[in-house]
Every structure is written in C-alpha cells, then in structure tokens.
Amino acid sequence: MTDNETRVAIVTGGSRGIGAEVAQRLAADGTAVALAYAGNKAAADQVVATIRERGGSAFAMQADIADEDQVSALFDATAERFGAVDVVVNAAGVMELAPVVDLDLAVLDHMHRTNIRGTFVVSRIAARTVRPGGAIITFSTSVTKLALPGYAAYAASKGAVDALTLVLAKELRGRDVTVNAVAPGPTATALFLDGKDEETIERMSRMNPLERLGTPGDIAEVVSFLAGPGRWVNGQVVYANGGMA
C-alpha cells in the first residue's frame, strides 16, 4: 500500500453501540468503511448517512458473521467497492447473563455461535484477505479477569476470543498484519445497560478509579490506535476499562 492510498476497514456489529462509534471514528481518520449489521438496517443506514454527511466513505451490508458465505460476500463487496481490505474490526457480539446453574443451554449455543464461531469466521477470512500494513481487531471483555457472577458463559466465549487472537497473531508471522483484542469494561451501551437497575449500574460505574462508565468513544479511541499508528502492539489483549482490576 502506498502512502496516498485510502485505508479500508470492515466493521461488524456496526449498526449501534461500540461498533457504530468505531465505524464513525475510523471514517473520521480517513478510512473507507464497510459496515456489517445483523438485522437493524435502519440503524446501519443512519450510521452510513452520518459518515457521508461528514465527508467520509461508507456503505452497509447485512451479514451473519457465523455464516462463512455471507462473510465472504461482505469481504468481496468491500474489495469491489473500495479496492482492498486493510482493517477488520469484529465488534459484533451478544451477551446473555445468568448463573451457570440456571443458564439455558440454547442461550449458551447462541452466544457460542456469534461470539466464538462468528469471530473465528471473520478472523479466518480476514487472515486471508487483509493486505500488508493492516490490522485485525477482535473484541473481548474485561469480565474474563473480573469473574463476576452471572457472566460465566459470556466470559467463557470471550476467553475463546482471547485465545484465537493471540494464536492468530503468531500465525501471521511475516505478513506485516497485527492482530489484537480490545477488552472493554462496563461501557454505556444498550448491550451493557439493558436489564440492569440503577443501583447496579452505579455500583459498576464506580469499580474503576475514574469512577464512571466507559463510553463508546473511549473504546473507539483504542481501536483507532490499533488500526492505525499502533503498529508495534501485536498479539495483545488491550484492557480498555479505566483501570478496573
């Protein structure tokens, strides 16, 4: 890639929350963005419209990240439209909370399909596609360290993402492609806030020394660094959680 070529990113889960913020931040950095969404076309179209209103380049495409054919079509459409793929951010994910003894195994299978299989499918096609100088960024969670009750199945799925990320970084030796995971702490998105009462939200917001919830913008800053100038950070799980231990 020459210095004057526009970088191109694919962002999954880009219709809302952290994914939407990441898509907009990368576009503000001058990156052309393909935004993948599971089902909320109206929200995805709004993110694309916002990017274009600000002078950026973007389009949205529906894709089930656990379906290899659909993900391949997403990568093909991106390359056809923008010429190549440099950055892949897999922000798509689902979270269902319950104690181990109460968790419906159908819920476990659903999280496994999206969080593990989906991340694996996207990462494997990214590993075949991303050109030198590029970056693959997965999404983990700080709960893998915190071991909060009720989060076992979700944390287990993200622990698998950590393992995949660290191994893939080594498998891409010689390709000049970095592979890292971002592990947010409690962040003010619907994924985190839904189903929690005010007392729980307040308690969790004070678990880090900065005594607030993260914002999607906080996480997008980290992704922007890993997708661009952070070339010497590779094979890492980056905990973006305000110092939560």
Q: Residues with catalytic annotation?
A: 154
Alpha-carbon distances, residue 93 vs 19, 53, 63, 118, 203 (angstroms): 10, 28, 13, 8, 24
Three-state SS across 12-59? ECCCCHHHHHHHHHHHHCCCEEEEEECCCHHHHHHHHHHHHHCCCCEE
Three-state DSSP at 42 gives helix
Pairing type for strands 87-90 and 8-12 reads parallel
Three-state DSSP at 129 gives helix
- In angstroms, the CA 214 to CA 217 distance is 8
CA 121 to chain CA centroid, Å, is: 14
Structure tokens at 112: 């496994």
Identify the burial level of 7 via C-beta atoms within 10 angstroms of its C-beta, where 0-12 means exposed, 13-18 middle and 19 or more buried: buried
Structure tokens at 105: 């195994």
Question: Which amino acid is present at 173?
Answer: R
Alpha-carbon distances, residue 95 vs 150, 170, 217, 223 (angstroms): 11, 28, 20, 21
- In angstroms, the CA 33 to CA 197 distance is 35
